[in-house]
Structure 1
Amino acid sequence: MTATLPDDERLRRWRLILGGDADGTGCALAGQDRRIDEALAALYRPAPGEGRAGATAARTGGLGASAPAVARWLGDIREYFPSGVVQVLQQDAIERLDLTRLLLEPEMLDAVEPDVHLVGTLLSLNRLMPEETKEAARAVVRRVVDDLERRIAQRTHSLVRGALDRATRINRPRHHDIDWNATIRANLRHYQADYRTVVPERLVGHGRQRNGVRKDVVLCIDQSGSMAASVVYASVFGAVLASMRSLRTSLVVFDTAVVDLTDRLTDPVDVLFGTQLGGGTDINRALAYCQSLVTRPSDTIVILISDLYEGGVRQEMLRRVAAMRRAGVQVVTLLALSDEGAPAYDHRNAAALTALGSPAFACTPDLFPEIMAAAVQGLPLPIPE
């Protein structure tokens, strides 16, 4: 049974939720509660004359227009709230109080809590940053990228390598290519109790090509502004995949122009600073370039990461995907690669690509290694509901 809160504690919580002195609770705040309230009011206080009905509109807030004031506020919220809440408050501050320009100042970057959304904002400002700010911005991006790599590298390597091994497994291997553990598991029903041994009716092993490049992977990433989080995650995954010798990984970013960043895959931070978020979208042009990279169609996986709002020639884009599919290329379309929930996307283009055998769906970073493992084996993709 849930314990009932004392009246004064319940009023205190309502006071912190509602904000403002004329909130009807009659509860006065003191000490840390007062400082928490002031930090939230600086961000969410309605503009003069706006009233609570306009609470979702633009705010005035009490952060002022100087980096020192904002830096102090950032320090306060990091003291009072857990990291996940701090990231939400930062994102709200950037959007509601138009603090984007202050991110061009090094002292601001030293104060922020790094996260994927902040990286997207910094990348959109990349071309505007003064030189003295760029190193601070790279340090912020590096912290986020290093954290993401730690989270995803081991699982991605494990699932994809296992998939590559299973994809090359054969039933008539040479002696030194036999996978004895897999062979025993496959023949347990042939255990001979009298001899206390397993008679291997079927040998399981690997083809001799397992030490070479077995699959070509092309990541084709839409760098329009709405895809910021997807660009961050895809760049990190690209670097992880590129570290695997069994894969030949290419990374291509596009808006109305196409840029091949494969030579930067050793460092995903370099990849990210090679992108230019914003601008139009020409998916057909990007796929034309990716198509030119295909030398082994049946061993190539093209991952298109885009919301599919095509500014180029739609019919030509569809014909190009159809041609790659006929040649044996696996083409997978991710409408988003992020944790942001259901994305906005062009439903007509998504349906058309799916009809061509190129499934189009949103994918979280946690699911992406499973998607890659299934694609490597040519198995049905674990498409989320």
Structure 2
Amino acid sequence: MTGTEPAADERLRRWRLVLGGGDGADGTGRALTGRDAAMDRTLDAVYGAPGAPGARGAAGAREGQRGAGLGGSAPQVARWLGDIRTYFPGPVVRVVQRDAIERLGLAAMLVEPEMLEAVEPDVHLVGTLLSLSRALPETSRETARTVVRTVVRDLESRLAARTRATVGGALDRSARVSRPRHRDIDWNRTIRANLKNYLPEHGTVVPERLVGYGRAARAVTKDVILAIDQSGSMAASVVYASVFGAVLASMRALDTRLVVFDTAVVDLTDALDDPVDVLFGTQLGGGTDINRALAYCQSRITRPTETILVLISDLYEGGIREEMLRRVAAMRQAGVQCVVLLALSDEGAPAYDREHTAALARLGVPAFACTPDLFPEVMAAAVERRPLPVPG
């Protein structure tokens, strides 16, 4: 046997798993046994289901072929969830799990505690649970909170430190005094800022620009309002925004308010010390009235020039469009720093209202999708009133 034969056999094995094909080898000439056969049955339950694309991925279609399916039994589904965690790493489990919920209509089964204990927690699962939160029986509610808290803690561990460092640095820079009194001069920063004015013949630096210490006597330097669209398409954005809201609320130099809205407006600021409480205070789905939400936010602004308003919405407005735009224009004119994020997630460019996006751009308010990793930079730019890092 040559060295190329094991590699070729492994390629056939992988293609066989990709193509599926039930008892037949689907043209590969490679039959599956043992662990591979069990793995194939697990995948076929989702990707070989009636009406689903047959090939796993973009490899083709097997029209009319019935797959194993998962039936209507919660215990059976729970066992299947355990199987995929046995055969695949976490990132793959989350993809297959999400596909199963979407393709096979398993959302209703997530009210069962045994199902919730078997799933792999991720942002999309949290979104599904939040959409079902009103339907969860008491026996499942605490398990659901445990699942949500697991995801929230993971996000906080990944995002909190960098957000505090990035936004905190921007707050420090924006608070420095450009014309300080003599006792308020920060000499270390002043020297660094004026090194280009060093005069070697005199052995000194000419301090063309003085840098003062921050306004320590003023505890809060910026007011932040996060206004989050809780329509069904914004589920992942709601999860990330709730975590970021809690992180920003923990920073003493910020006064952070968090508002969620559909056709009604709910202020969840008092729950910001626990993002899980914030998330269970939302109600995903329903219509959208951005104008009403902006009216509420506008009524809470007391220091326009020190306020950052972050609207997270796909801009599909069900309220009064012209009034929404007038409110944004009025807040901009008053000095409010307005930021519009079409999504706050890892999913890329979402579906959004292009007409409203263009209208906001004409008002000087860019609207763009933002990943969680970019959000701290966006907030830092808003704090310092410099151009936002809009993705290309």
- TM-score class, shorter-chain normalisation, is over 0.9
Answer yes or no: is the 8 Å Cα contact 1:59–1:96 preserved in 2. no
Equivalent position to 2:366, from 346, 359, 370: 359
Answer yes or no: is the 8 Å Cα contact 1:330–1:375 preserved in 2. yes
Equivalent position to 2:152, from 132, 135, 145: 145
Alpha-carbon spacing, 1:279–1:35, altered in 2? closer, same or farther (3 Å) = same
Asked if 1:70 is matched to 2:77, the reply is yes
Query: Which shows bigger deviation, 72-81 or 223-232?
Result: 72-81
Once the two structures are superposed, residues 343-366 of structure 1 have per-residue CA deviations (whole angstroms, 9 ceiling, x without a partner) of 000000011011111111111111
| Structure 1 gap segments, 5+ residues each | none
Matches within 5 A, 1:98-137: 98-137=105-144
Secondary structure of residue in 1 paired with 2:70: coil
Per-residue deviation, 1:201: 4.9
Letter of the 2:82 partner, please give it.
Answer: G
Answer yes or no: is the 8 Å Cα contact 1:46–1:54 preserved in 2. no
Answer yes or no: is the 8 Å Cα contact 1:309–1:346 preserved in 2. yes
Equivalent position to 1:35, from 21, 35, 38: 38
- Partners of 2:118 and 2:49 in 1: how far apart? 25
Query: Which shows bigger deviation, 370-379 or 71-80?
Result: 71-80
- Partners of 1:65 and 1:82 in 2: how far apart? 26
Secondary structure of residue in 2 paired with 1:72: helix
Alpha-carbon spacing, 1:212–1:35, altered in 2? closer, same or farther (3 Å) = same
- Partners of 2:195 and 2:54 in 1: how far apart? 74
- Partners of 2:271 and 2:242 in 1: how far apart? 10
Provide the residue aligned with 2:315 in structure 1: 308
Alpha-carbon spacing, 1:166–1:50, altered in 2? closer, same or farther (3 Å) = closer
Query: Which shows bigger deviation, 106-115 or 41-50?
Result: 41-50
Answer yes or no: is the 8 Å Cα contact 2:304–2:334 preserved in 1. yes
Once the two structures are superposed, residues 186-244 of structure 1 have per-residue CA deviations (whole angstroms, 9 ceiling, x without a partner) of 13235566887656454312343564111111000000000000000000000000001
Per-residue deviation, 1:61: 3.5
Alpha-carbon spacing, 1:312–1:17, altered in 2? closer, same or farther (3 Å) = same
- Partners of 1:57 and 1:230 in 2: how far apart? 37
Matches within 5 A, 1:37-52: 37-47=40-50
Per-residue deviation, 1:67: 1.8
- Give the % identical residues: 70
Provide the residue aligned with 1:12 in structure 2: 13
Equivalent position to 1:26, from 29, 33, 37: 29
Secondary structure of residue in 2 paired with 1:155: helix
- Partners of 2:241 and 2:173 in 1: how far apart? 25
Secondary structure of residue in 1 paired with 2:246: helix
- Partners of 1:365 and 1:56 in 2: how far apart? 39
Letter of the 1:37 partner, please give it.
Answer: D
Per-residue deviation, 1:59: 7.3
Answer yes or no: is the 8 Å Cα contact 1:183–1:204 preserved in 2. yes
- Partners of 2:351 and 2:63 in 1: how far apart? 21
Per-residue deviation, 1:171: 3.2
Asked if 1:259 is matched to 2:260, the reply is no
Asked if 1:337 is matched to 2:344, the reply is yes
Provide the residue aligned with 1:238 in structure 2: 245
- Partners of 1:323 and 1:137 in 2: how far apart? 42
- Partners of 2:66 and 2:135 in 1: how far apart? 26
Alpha-carbon spacing, 1:227–1:32, altered in 2? closer, same or farther (3 Å) = same
Equivalent pairs, count: 383
Secondary structure of residue in 2 paired with 1:203: coil
Letter of the 1:43 partner, please give it.
Answer: V
Provide the residue aligned with 1:273 in structure 2: 280
Alpha-carbon spacing, 1:216–1:338, altered in 2? closer, same or farther (3 Å) = same
- Partners of 1:58 and 1:100 in 2: how far apart? 24
Per-residue deviation, 1:330: 1.2
Letter of the 2:9 partner, please give it.
Answer: D
Secondary structure of residue in 1 paired with 2:170: helix
Per-residue deviation, 1:172: 3.3
Letter of the 2:40 partner, please give it.
Answer: D
- Partners of 1:333 and 1:57 in 2: how far apart? 45
Answer yes or no: is the 8 Å Cα contact 2:131–2:284 preserved in 1. yes
Secondary structure of residue in 2 paired with 1:280: coil
| Structure 2 gap segments, 5+ residues each | none
Once the two structures are superposed, residues 67-90 of structure 1 have per-residue CA deviations (whole angstroms, 9 ceiling, x without a partner) of 221111111111211111110101
Answer yes or no: is the 8 Å Cα contact 1:44–1:61 preserved in 2. no
Answer yes or no: is the 8 Å Cα contact 2:306–2:336 preserved in 1. yes
- Partners of 1:115 and 1:177 in 2: how far apart? 49
- Partners of 1:57 and 1:264 in 2: how far apart? 50
Answer yes or no: is the 8 Å Cα contact 1:210–1:246 preserved in 2. no
